[in-house]
């Protein structure tokens, strides 16, 4: 056994989060793609069976009230709230990330002072965010200004209405400075909208403490909610009385069952709802969140940084010189919970890794991505993945 393998074993033995791995359905595969789809918590199938057979099969429509289906979007939002540093009553779950980005960007332009006609977006944003923001801009008469997050403070001005940024870059794993950028946006009189898809469940976000206005995020990555599980929308309490959704669906109405032709928005985060909730996915997510009971985000962050540090050390020790280069920042303050390696032949390399039981993913043309979900990934996984990568590169 190599020194790195021995260190991995010792680190796993000392890891306070290691027992959480048993809560997930996993095999001998090294699963480093939780930044795309989280693993299945073991207890979720039984919960879904109960929903199918009793709540839907027996109670049927009565379950909207008796089983709490109607209030699920807000109830589950309150389960997510502590993970992203928000007080209760500010998060509603439902729809996709894309739909919530649209709601947030348009609502942000309506919250902004009059006469502002620019929406700044992360120049390296996940494509959908850019597509949605562009459509929102065309509909509202604004123009899109792409800018690198580090350059946002210099790009802000009296015409800036809203700024849409990714907390962690999906391609490189770079963590952007949410507190400083939010403060800069506010100093310019604009509204800050954050996409938390690659940070929520992996590191502290502290939405309330840093004064974020609006935020969106998915739940199928580090929150392990399942494929296509519903996303969420955060609306800071101070904005809720005037939050004006561009999708005023019937379930966000103050009296949804009155079926009146005129729209009157409900109070609170409920304003972020649109249509009938997707109950099966919603309740699978709610059950999945049980794995977070008693788990602190700070402990998750500490393990995430230790895992990614160790993986990078193993790659440096094992991989043939010059074959891969990390594009993920070395500084902890600038790193999310993934490692992205530039590799000239990324696609066949990742295919070979998967064949060897190490599952990551890639971003064309030349980036290998390895996501580290601290709830179930261990140090032995990191060492094995680096060793397998070295074998593939040497072959």
Catalytic positions, please?
A: 126, 195, 220-221, 369
Tokens in use for 22?
């048993």
Residue 112 CA to residue 201 CA, distance in Å, equals 30
- b/e map 151-186, b = 16+ CB within 10 Å: ebeebbeeebbbbbbbbbbbbbbbbbbbeebbebbb
* 6-13: long-range pairs with CB below 8 Å, 24+: 7/310, 7/379, 7/383, 8/310, 8/378, 8/379, 8/380, 8/382, 8/383, 9/379, 9/380, 11/306, 11/310, 11/378, 11/379, 12/378, 12/379, 12/380
What tokens appear for 189 in the block?
Answer: 């009189």
Q: Is the dihedral of CA 382, 388, 390, 392 positive or negative?
A: negative
DSSP 157: -
Helix (H, G, I), strand (E, B) or coil at 348: helix
- Unique residue bearing structure tokens 């066949």: 348
Write out the DSSP string of 212-273.
--EEEE-SSSTT---TT---EEEE-GGGGGG---SS--GGGBSSGGG--SS--BPSGGGGG-
Taking the C-alpha atoms of residue 72 and residue 280, their distance in angstroms, rounded to an integer, is 11
């Amino acid at each position: 056994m190599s020194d790195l393998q021995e260190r991995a074993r010792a680190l796993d033995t000392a890891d306070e989060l290691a027992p959480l791995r048993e809560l997930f359905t996993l095999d001998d595969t090294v699963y480093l793609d939780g930044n795309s789809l989280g693993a299945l918590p073991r207890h979720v199938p039984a919960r879904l069976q109960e929903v199918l057979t009793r709540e839907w099969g027996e109670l049927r429509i009565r379950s909207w009230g008796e089983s709490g289906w109607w209030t699920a979007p807000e109830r589950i939002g309150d389960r997510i709230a502590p993970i992203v540093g928000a007080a209760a009553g500010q998060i509603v779950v439902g729809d996709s990330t894309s739909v919530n980005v649209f709601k947030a960007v348009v609502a942000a332009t309506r919250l902004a002072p009059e006469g502002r006609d620019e929406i700044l977006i992360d120049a390296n944003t996940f494509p959908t965010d850019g597509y949605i923001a562009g459509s929102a801009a065309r509909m509202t008469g604004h123009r899109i200004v792409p800018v690198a997050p580090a350059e946002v403070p210099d790009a802000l001005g009296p015409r800036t209405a809203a700024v849409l940024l990714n907390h962690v870059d999906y391609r490189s794993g770079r963590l952007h400075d949410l507190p400083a950028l939010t403060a800069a946006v506010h100093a310019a009189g604009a509204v800050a909208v954050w996409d938390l898809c690659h940070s929520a469940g992996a590191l502290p976000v502290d939405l309330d403490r840093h004064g974020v206005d609006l935020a969106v995020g998915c739940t199928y990555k580090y929150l392990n909610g399942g494929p296509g599980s519903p996303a969420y929308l955060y609306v800071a309490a101070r904005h809720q009385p005037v939050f004006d959704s561009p999708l005023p669906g019937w379930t966000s109405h103050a009296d949804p069952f009155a079926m009146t032709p005129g729209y009157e928005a409900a109070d609170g985060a409920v304003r972020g709802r649109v249509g009938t909730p997707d109950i099966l996915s919603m309740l699978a997510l709610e059950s999945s969140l049980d794995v977070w009971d008693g788990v602190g985000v700070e402990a998750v962050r500490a393990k995430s940084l230790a895992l990614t540090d160790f993986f990078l050390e193993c790659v440096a020790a094992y991989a043939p010189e010059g074959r891969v280069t990390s594009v993920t920042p070395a500084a902890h303050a600038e790193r999310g919970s993934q490692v992205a390696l530039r590799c000239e032949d990324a696609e066949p390399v990742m295919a070979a890794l998967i064949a060897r039981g190490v599952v990551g993913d890639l971003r064309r043309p030349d980036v290998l991505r390895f996501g580290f979900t601290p709830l179930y990934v261990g140090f032995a996984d990191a060492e094995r993945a680096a060793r397998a990568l070295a074998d593939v590169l040497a072959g």
